[in-house]
Amino acid sequence: MTITQTPARTRGGAFTDAVRAESSKVWSLPATWLTLAGTFALNIVLSIAFTVNADLTASGVNVLDYGVVALGWTQVGFFLLGVIAATSEYIGGQIRTTLTAVPDRVGQRLAASVALAPIVFIAGTITVVAGIATVLITSRTPFSALDIALAVRLTLSAAGYLTLMAILSAAIGFLVRKAIPAASILLIYFLILSPLLQGQRWYFLPDTAAYTLWYATVPAGAPPAIVGWAVVAAWTIALLIPSLIAAKRRDT
């Protein structure tokens, strides 16, 4: 009798499988689609509202600034997506099934973050492009008036920022483990505290630093983009690491 042995998976293969599983879970959540659709629609509405009474022909006005200005509010949708992706594990005890399939707790947490990244990046890119297109159509600005290279850079920068913030939000969601408290923390900061602090030009805060990344007209005194990226990345890592430590130490 011949016995066929199935080769053991390598750590890399196991991690890849975990990323695929986490990606499938995020896509299968109805809340994912509802959040992305609502964010996209709100971004269009706000882009129209900000453009209707604007004079885009005025000196010093860049149409791209109006194309991304709605993100100052609609970015919240991507933060909520991160919270939903993390806290959905704790609905109905799904986290136990997940940890049974992926015993490496730190690996599972990293896989969840990696799986979330392309989803948010793609959705963020589509949302930004739609916002810019909406402003062009609403203001009747010809496409030829755009600086294409600048538009591409700002779009990718905005999508990259949203991706890092979604991972940060997922880390908060994982630490708190409940969607409403985690979402409340983020909403209080981004809708109340952040607007109050922006007047101080505190560029060590992630959303304030992001203004140097996805606005064509950078505020006077703002640091270079590389500093903005460093701030956003530092905040993401500062919250991701505690979530990895918590994943390793928790029973579930």
What pLDDT, on a 0 to 100 scale, did the predictor assign at position 127?
Answer: 97
Q: Is the dihedral of CA 46, 167, 193, 208 positive or negative?
A: negative
Query: Is residue 187 predicted with pLDDT exceeding 80?
Result: yes
Residue 250 near residue 242, CB atoms below 8 Å: no
Instruction: Supply the pLDDT for residue 1.
Output: 47
**Could you tell me the pLDDT band of residue 90, with boundaries at 50, 70 and 90?**
confident
pLDDT of residue 252: 64
Answer yes or no: are the C-beta atoms of 237 and 231 closer than 8 Å: no
Per-residue DSSP letter, 102: -
Contacts of 177 (CB under 8 A, 6+ apart): 87, 90
Q: Stretch 10-34: mean pLDDT, rounded?
A: 89
Rg of the chain over Cα atoms, rounded to whole angstroms, equals 20
User: How confident is residue 186, by pLDDT bands cut at 50, 70 and 90?
Assistant: very high
CA 84 to mean position of chain CA atoms: 12
Convert the pLDDT of each residue in 188-223 to its tens digit. Answer: 998 888 888 766 667 888 988 888 898 998 877 788
For all residues of the chain together, what is the average pLDDT?
88
Please compute the mean of the pLDDT values over residues 148-154 and round it to a whole number: 95
Position 5 pLDDT exceeds 70: no
Q: Which candidate, 171, 177, 149, places its Cα nearest to that of 89?
A: 177
> End-to-end alpha-carbon separation of the chain, Å?
42
Give the model confidence (pLDDT) of 28-40 as tens digits.
999 999 999 999 9
Residue 18, pLDDT above cutoff 60: yes
What is the pLDDT confidence band of residue 58, given thresholds at 50, 70 and 90?
confident
pLDDT (0 to 100) of residue 243: 94
Half-sphere exposure of 233 (CA within 13 A, CB side): 9
Residue 116 pLDDT exceeds 60: yes
Share above pLDDT 90 across residues of the chain, in percent, rounded to a whole number: 60
CA distances from 137 to 62, 120, 143, 200 (A): 15, 25, 9, 35
pLDDT tops 60 at residue 160: yes
Q: Is the model's pTM score more than 0.75?
A: yes
Residues 26 and 71 sit within 8 Å (Cβ to Cβ): no
Q: Are 213 and 225 in contact (CB under 8 A)?
A: yes
> Average of pLDDT values for 121-134?
97
- pLDDT tops 60 at residue 6: no
231-247: per-residue pLDDT in tens? 999 999 999 999 999 98
SS3 of 107, please?
Answer: helix
